[in-house]
Amino acid sequence: MFRPGLERAAGRETRKGILIEVFDHAREVELQQRHKHTPLGPHTPRRRVLTRGLLAGIGLVFAIALAAPAASLAAQRPRPLNLELNPAAGSLSASWDVSSTTGLTGFRIRWKQAGGGGGGHVDVARGVRSYTISRLRHVAYEVRVRSLYHGRIGPFALAEATPLPGGEEPPEEEEPPVEEPPEEEPVEEEEPPVEEEPPIEEEPEEEGPQGALVSATPTGPPTPAGGWSVVYADGFGAPIGKGPGQDNTWFPNNCTLTSNCHGFNSDELEVFNPSAAKVTPDGLKLTCTYTAAAQEPGGKHYVCGALRGQNQGLPGYRFFTWSPGKGQTLVFQAVAKFPPNTGEADPGWWSAGPPWNDTEIDFFEGGGASGSHSTGWRTDPIYTAWFATPHVTANKPGFTVDPSLAFHTYTFEVKPDNTYSIWIDGVPQSWATNVGPVKPDLAAKTTLVLSYALRECRCVTGFTSGTREFDVKSVSVYEDKAHRGVGVENEGIAPGTSIG
Q: For residues 137 and 131, what is the distance between their CA atoms, to the nearest angstrom?
A: 17
Q: For residues 237 and 246, what is the distance between their CA atoms, to the nearest angstrom?
A: 9
Angle (deg, nearest 10), helices 46-76 and 15-35 = 170
Lowest mean pLDDT among 53-57, 135-139, 309-313, 417-421: 53-57
Q: Are strands 498-499 and 213-214 parallel, antiparallel or unpaired?
A: parallel
Stretch 174-185: mean pLDDT = 45
Does the pLDDT of residue 175 top 80, yes or no? no
Which amino acid makes up residue 419?
T
Side-chain half-sphere exposure of 449, counting CA atoms within 13 A: 27
| Selection from 128, 339, 100 nearest residue 233 by Cα | 128
Q: For residues 404 and 375, what is the distance between their CA atoms, to the nearest angstrom?
A: 12
Q: Can you give the pLDDT at residue 39?
A: 39
Q: Can you give the pLDDT at residue 7?
A: 32
| Pairs from 187-196 (Cβ < 8 Å, separation ≥ 24) | 187/4, 188/3, 188/4, 188/5, 188/8, 188/70, 188/74, 189/4, 191/152, 193/8, 193/14, 193/15, 194/5, 194/14, 194/66, 194/67, 194/69, 194/70, 194/73, 195/14, 195/15, 195/66
Does the pLDDT of residue 12 top 50, yes or no? no
Does the pLDDT of residue 28 top 80, yes or no? no
Please report the beta strands in 203-352, taking only residues with DSSP state E, as ranges in sequence order. Answer: 213-214, 228-234, 270-272, 277-280, 283-295, 300-304, 306-308, 321-322, 330-337, 345-352
Stretch 65-72: mean pLDDT = 45
* pTM of the predicted structure, to 2 decimals: 0.62
Stretch 86-91: mean pLDDT = 87
3-state class of 54 per DSSP? helix
Does the pLDDT of residue 29 top 60, yes or no? no
Q: For residues 458 and 369, what is the distance between their CA atoms, to the nearest angstrom?
A: 7
Q: For residues 145 and 81, what is the distance between their CA atoms, to the nearest angstrom?
A: 9
pLDDT tens-place string over residues 140-169: 989 999 998 775 788 899 999 999 987 655
Q: For residues 321 and 231, what is the distance between their CA atoms, to the nearest angstrom?
A: 10
Which amino acid makes up residue 76?
Q
Does the pLDDT of residue 377 top 70, yes or no? yes
Does the pLDDT of residue 25 top 70, yes or no? no
Q: Can you give the pLDDT at residue 22?
A: 32
CA distances from residue 175 to 179, 259, 388, 425 in whole angstroms, order as listed? 12, 28, 45, 46
Q: What band does 179 get if pLDDT is binned at 50, 70 and 90? A: very low
Q: Are strands 345-352 and 446-454 parallel, antiparallel or unpaired?
A: antiparallel
